[in-house]
Amino acid sequence: MDSVTQIVLGAAVGEAVLGKKIGNKAMVLGAIAGTIPDLDVIANYFTDTVSALEIHRGFTHSIVFAVVFGLLFGWLLSLWDKRATLKQWFWFWFLCFITHPLLDAHTTWGTQFFWPFDLRLAYKNIFVIDPLYTLPFLVFLILAMLQKRGSVKRRRFNNLGLIVSSTYMLLTLILKGITYSKFESALKKQNIAYAALETKPSPLNAILWTANVETEGAFLIGDYSFFDTKPIQFSSHPKNHDALGDFAEEDKVKRLIKITKGWYTVSEREDGVYLNDLRFGMISVDPNSEKFAFSFLIEKKENEVTVTEEEKDTREARKLFSDLWTRIKGN
């Protein structure tokens, strides 16, 4: 999830664990703990694109990290603040650290929760930024902050934030199940044979959902809003995997393909060959668009293969938000 959501979650968990003992410091430290796992983005400045993608939401989003660094930070804080025991400080940091990847596991990218095992949890039932999840959570947290330390109202407001956000998360799982069956039914009615089907919510909401469908030579992409009245339509995007040519045997390209879980197409443009990661959809609601959220330029420079992520165009993002609102309201 986005950093604001993780800060709110960390603060709420911190308050629930040690708020009664250390007051607002529990929220402040919890908010800090909520951002620490995302420090893995520093890898972007020290390594290549593919390696950074492999590191992202890996070790720092695992049980191992939560236990090891929970003990380390717990021990350090127990030396500084004697109002809580070493055991209590450990549980504070452990729970703040572990809830971060548990939340991220519901997004499309997911988390390598069981690191070092190569198993990524990705339920794909909520977008990384969802105001309906974050804003109510934030409101209850602020209301809790305004109450006296240890008061019933403070605990009640904080718990309400955790309950409301968790309830919404459960709702998105139910919505995912409903939309999945809608896409299945549409594929059956249109006599489309497919090998795999994945669904995910579109940006900023849980009303409009998109589906990636793997067929023999192409991927189909469709969308469905709960306000739709017309049948679901699918657009076809040829896999074009052969266009990789000799690049397909390069280590970096193989690792990039592994990251996409096989959900990728290849585009040939004037400036080179691009690998498009389909898992995160397109920067457009136009079914015929070929502007994907994540595309990587693959080229050979001085006998070395390089992979470079295509830069985002902010103008396209602004247009997407406008078009998205129109599409959410139904077809």
Owner of token pair 């939340």 = 103
DSSP class of 91: H
Q: Which of 121, 28, 117 is nearest to 81 (CA)?
A: 28
What dihedral do alpha carbons 257, 259, 263, 266 form, nearest 10°? -40
Whole-number pLDDT of residue 322: 85
Residues of 283-311 as b/e, b for ≥16 C-beta within 10 angstroms?
A: bbbeeeeeebbbbbbbeeeeeebebeebe
- pLDDT, tens digit (0-9, with 9 covering 90-100), for 232-282: 999 999 999 999 999 999 999 999 999 999 999 999 998 999 999 999 988
Tokens linked to 47: 């390594």
pLDDT bracket for residue 315 (50, 70, 90):
confident
pLDDT at 176 over 80: yes
Question: How many Å apart are CA 97 and CA 35, to the nearest integer?
Answer: 9
pLDDT at 316 over 80: no
Q: Considering only CA atoms, give the Rg of the chain.
A: 22
Share of the chain above pLDDT 90, in %: 90
Whole-number pLDDT of residue 98: 98
- pLDDT, tens digit (0-9, with 9 covering 90-100), for 29-54: 999 999 999 999 999 999 999 999 99
Owner of token pair 């595309």 = 295
pLDDT bracket for residue 84 (50, 70, 90):
very high
Tokens linked to 192: 């489309």
* SS percent in the chain: helix, strand, coil, step 5: 55, 20, 30
> Residues near 109 by Cβ (< 8 Å), separated by ≥ 6?
56, 57, 122, 128, 279, 280
Question: How many Å apart are CA 170 and CA 174, to the nearest integer?
Answer: 7
> Interior CA angle at 279 toward 33 and 191, to 5°?
145
Share of the chain above pLDDT 70, in %: 100
Q: What is the pTM of this model?
A: 0.94
Average pLDDT of the segment spanning 156-173? 98
Average pLDDT of the segment spanning 63-89? 97
One-letter amino acid for residue 152 of the chain: V
Whole-number pLDDT of residue 290: 81
pLDDT bracket for residue 83 (50, 70, 90):
very high
pLDDT bracket for residue 82 (50, 70, 90):
very high
- pLDDT, tens digit (0-9, with 9 covering 90-100), for 104-149: 999 999 999 999 999 999 999 999 999 999 999 999 999 999 999 8
